[in-house]
């Protein structure tokens, strides 16, 4: 298995980060800051993929260790140490990232860990983060960046010690902390000043996530080299034991239970004789596959013997026993915020079927659309206005597709917002407060959990002065200068009405209620 190399996507992301950092040094507009948000999201996705690939390597490594721990064990122990060192460094980087966000945004570290970069108001600020990473020093030696650099250099020094001479000679560590690095004018800088001095929070977060990607790549390369150090030709087995490898110990009623039964010292040229409950199980290439329909629910147990020829041609039999659990299919489809779907907005939904990996679940809906959310775990439903929507969930394990059931949901129209001005929806209001606010603000009901915005598109301003009706139309949500002058000249106790308020939402315009005010 070859070591990890940067994919074209990873190379593109790294190049984009360098270009954005250079443009940022030239004080380019806020669009560049938002571009960091896009690049950061791509890097976060890359980090998830790298971690998943590494976990696959660890799983194969562990399997070989279980088969022959005496041979594989020393390499497996080093792989575990590589994982520990990598996780420790990544945890340190994550903690530094969340601490920087916490200080810049004025929130707790826990809140910082749950806030996407796009939602951080201080992502274009650098004063607080520069002080955090550089400290009271001219070269960053008294800030967090120096501590981070020392941790990276210690990691690079220690992790290569896990490899033999050939592995050390061929591995590419990356994580360059030596440079040379230069600022926008061409002057030399150290790693700390180059990456953290007067660098905005958005760039800090993106750079730290890129460091995590680099660490995961190093981890993957080291573990791959350790895994390849164990040659398949060198496996030596000094014992023979029966092994039963089920596809799954959890089986739904009506499906089949399947398992592979083999001796640990597998000889593909010899087909073992496997007997279960008096029935001979067919074998091919050294493996017998047992398949039986799952009928009764609950714990099911089977046992038998496997017979193979020994080194001298003699037959040797080994007993085995295995169990599996049969259960009735169960399904959960629940909206994460309420028990209905709202029309023309994104409705978050969680879908879970017991015992089934998320990657094997698919879903469709009778009206509208349903798709996976960006996190890959939840779903997003969008439906038009109607009576009902039916969500149907399917399970596909790569071999068969199974209907896991359906769930019905009512469809409701998004509730109307309520119009406010000067933080009131009617009643007595201070004249100066009314003049200071000047804007009509639509607010959704407190029990409506969606992040949904309405915009005021028009309204009518009505008042009475000297027995005459003062009636003016307004566009947008701001009071005109003429309306403000009317308010300024109003006397205590005089009434003002804001009516025919039209608000634009995701499903078109809504007419909101009248705001009846009494000037104080």
**Three-state SS letters, 11-36:** HHHHHHHHHHHHHHHCCCCHHHHHHH
The set of residues, in sequence order, having a beta carbon less than 8 Å from that of 7 and lying 6+ positions away, is: none
Residue 1 lies in a domain: no
| Total tally of structural domains belonging to the chain | 4
Q: What is the pLDDT of residue 21?
A: 57
Range of the domain at 295: 242-327
Question: End of a domain among 182, 207, 233?
Answer: 233
Q: Do 222 and 294 have their domain in common?
A: no
| 364-387: pLDDT as tens digits | 999 999 999 988 888 999 999 888
Whether residue 410 has pLDDT greater than 80:
yes
- The stretch 417-424 carries a mean pLDDT of 93
Q: Do 313 and 352 have their domain in common?
A: no
Question: pTM for the full model?
Answer: 0.44
Least confident span in 201-205, 224-228, 465-469, 507-511: 465-469
- Which CATH number belongs to the domain containing residue 352 in this structure? 2.60.40.1080
Least confident span in 354-363, 379-388, 427-436: 354-363
The set of residues, in sequence order, having a beta carbon less than 8 Å from that of 71 and lying 6+ positions away, is: 230, 234, 235, 236
Question: What's the chain's average pLDDT?
Answer: 84
Helices 69-105 and 201-228, axial angle in degrees (round to 10): 180
Residue 46 lies in a domain: yes
| 79-119: pLDDT as tens digits | 999 999 999 999 999 999 999 999 999 999 999 999 999 99
Residue 64 lies in a domain: yes
Q: Distances from the Cα of 100 to the Cαs of 36, 89, 103, 119, in angstroms?
A: 16, 17, 5, 15
User: Strand pairing of 287-293 and 256-263?
Assistant: antiparallel
Q: Do 51 and 182 have their domain in common?
A: yes
Residue 267 lies in a domain: yes
Q: If DSSP codes are grouped into helix, strand and coil, which group holds residue 40? A: helix
Q: Do 438 and 486 have their domain in common?
A: yes
Q: Do 423 and 401 have their domain in common?
A: no
Q: If DSSP codes are grouped into helix, strand and coil, which group holds residue 340? A: coil
Residue 423 lies in a domain: yes
With left for phi above 0 and alpha for psi between -120 and 50, is residue 510 left, alpha or beta? beta
Residue 362 lies in a domain: yes
Q: If DSSP codes are grouped into helix, strand and coil, which group holds residue 506? A: coil
Q: What is the pLDDT of residue 237?
A: 40
Q: Do 88 and 126 have their domain in common?
A: yes
Q: Do 25 and 130 have their domain in common?
A: yes
How many residues are given for the chain?
A: 520
Output Rg (C-alpha) for the chain, integer angstroms: 33
Confidence of residue 301 (pLDDT cuts 50, 70, 90): confident
Whether residue 240 has pLDDT greater than 60:
no
| 139-195: pLDDT as tens digits | 989 999 999 999 999 999 999 999 988 888 888 888 888 888 888 788 899 999 999
> Looking at 476-519, which runs of residues are DSSP E strands?
495-505, 508-512, 515-519
Q: What is the pLDDT of residue 234?
A: 45
- The stretch 10-24 carries a mean pLDDT of 57
Q: Write the DSSP symbol of residue 142.
A: T
Q: Do 22 and 161 have their domain in common?
A: yes
Whether residue 515 has pLDDT greater than 90:
yes
Whether residue 323 has pLDDT greater than 60:
yes
Of 112-121, 223-232, 294-303, 318-327, which has the strongest mean pLDDT? 112-121
- The stretch 124-140 carries a mean pLDDT of 91
Q: Do 256 and 379 have their domain in common?
A: no
Peptide bond into 481 cis (omega under 30): no
CA 226 – CA 239 distance, rounded (Å): 25
Q: What is the pLDDT of residue 262?
A: 59
Q: What is the pLDDT of residue 233?
A: 41
Whether residue 261 has pLDDT greater than 80:
no
- The stretch 478-495 carries a mean pLDDT of 92
Q: Write the DSSP symbol of residue 241.
A: -
Q: Do 20 and 159 have their domain in common?
A: yes
Q: What is the pLDDT of residue 246?
A: 66
Rounded percentage of the chain residues whose pLDDT exceeds 90: 46
Q: Do 89 and 200 have their domain in common?
A: yes
Confidence of residue 252 (pLDDT cuts 50, 70, 90): low
Whether residue 37 has pLDDT greater than 50:
yes
Residue 252 lies in a domain: yes
Q: If DSSP codes are grouped into helix, strand and coil, which group holds residue 243? A: strand
Q: Do 389 and 484 have their domain in common?
A: no
Q: What is the pLDDT of residue 313?
A: 60
Whether residue 23 has pLDDT greater than 70:
no
Residue 2 lies in a domain: no
Q: Write the DSSP symbol of residue 365.
A: E
Nearest to 214 by CA among 72, 93, 379: 93
Question: End of a domain among 365, 396, 412?
Answer: 412
Question: End of a domain among 284, 307, 327?
Answer: 327
């Amino acid at each position: 298995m070859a070591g990890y190399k940067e994919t074209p996507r990873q190379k593109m992301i790294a190049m984009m980060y360098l270009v954005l950092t250079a443009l940022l040094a030239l004080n380019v507009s806020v669009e560049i800051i938002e571009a960091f948000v896009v690049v950061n999201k791509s890097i976060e996705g890359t980090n998830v993929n790298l971690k998943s690939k590494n976990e696959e390597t660890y799983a194969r490594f562990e399997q070989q260790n279980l088969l022959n721990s005496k041979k594989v064990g020393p390499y497996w122990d080093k792989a575990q140490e590589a994982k520990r060192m990598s996780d420790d460094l990544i945890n340190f980087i994550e903690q530094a990232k969340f601490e920087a966000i916490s200080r810049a945004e004025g929130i707790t570290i826990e809140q910082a860990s749950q806030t996407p970069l796009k939602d951080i108001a201080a992502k274009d600020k650098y004063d607080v983060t520069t002080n955090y990473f550089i400290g009271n020093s001219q070269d960053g030696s008294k800030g967090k960046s120096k501590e981070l650099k020392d941790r990276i250099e210690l990691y690079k020094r220690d992790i290569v010690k896990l490899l033999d001479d050939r592995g050390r000679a061929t591995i590419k560590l990356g994580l360059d902390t030596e440079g040379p690095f230069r600022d926008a004018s061409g002057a030399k800088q150290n790693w700390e000043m180059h990456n953290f001095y007067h660098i905005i929070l958005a760039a800090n977060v993106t750079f730290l996530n890129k460091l995590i990607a680099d660490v995961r790549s190093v981890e993957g390369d080291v573990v791959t080299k350790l895994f390849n150090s164990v040659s398949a030709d060198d496996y030596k087995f000094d014992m023979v034991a029966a092994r039963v490898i089920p596809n799954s110990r959890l089986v739904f009623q009506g499906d089949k239970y399947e398992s592979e039964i083999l001796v640990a010292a597998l000889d593909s040229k010899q087909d073992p004789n496997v007997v279960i409950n008096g029935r001979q199980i067919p074998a091919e290439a050294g493996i017998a596959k047992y398949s039986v329909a799952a009928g009764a629910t609950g714990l099911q147990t089977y046992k038998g013997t496997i017979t193979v020829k020994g080194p001298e041609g003699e037959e040797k039999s080994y007993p085995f026993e295995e169990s599996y659990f049969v259960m009735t299919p169960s399904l959960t489809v629940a909206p994460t915020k309420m028990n209905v779907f709202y029309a023309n907005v994104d409705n978050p939904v969680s879908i879970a079927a017991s015992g089934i990996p998320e990657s094997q679940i698919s879903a469709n809906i009778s009206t509208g659309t349903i798709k996976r959310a960006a996190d890959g775990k939840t779903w997003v439903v969008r439906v038009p206005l109607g009576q009902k929507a039916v969500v149907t969930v399917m399970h596909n394990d790569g071999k068969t597709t199974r209907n896991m059931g359906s769930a019905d949901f009512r469809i409701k129209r998004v509730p109307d917002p309520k119009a406010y001005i000067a933080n009131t929806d009617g009643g007595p209001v201070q004249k100066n407060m009314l003049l200071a606010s000047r804007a009509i603000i639509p607010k959704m009901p407190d029990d409506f959990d969606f992040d949904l915005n309405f915009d005021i598109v028009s309204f009518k301003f009505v008042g009475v002065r000297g027995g005459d009706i003062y009636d003016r139309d307004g566009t947008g949500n701001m009071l005109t200068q003429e309306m403000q002058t009317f308010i300024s000249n109003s006397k205590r106790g005089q009434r003002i009405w804001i009516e025919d308020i039209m608000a634009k939402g995701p499903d078109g315009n809504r007419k909101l209620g009248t705001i009846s005010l009494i000037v104080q």
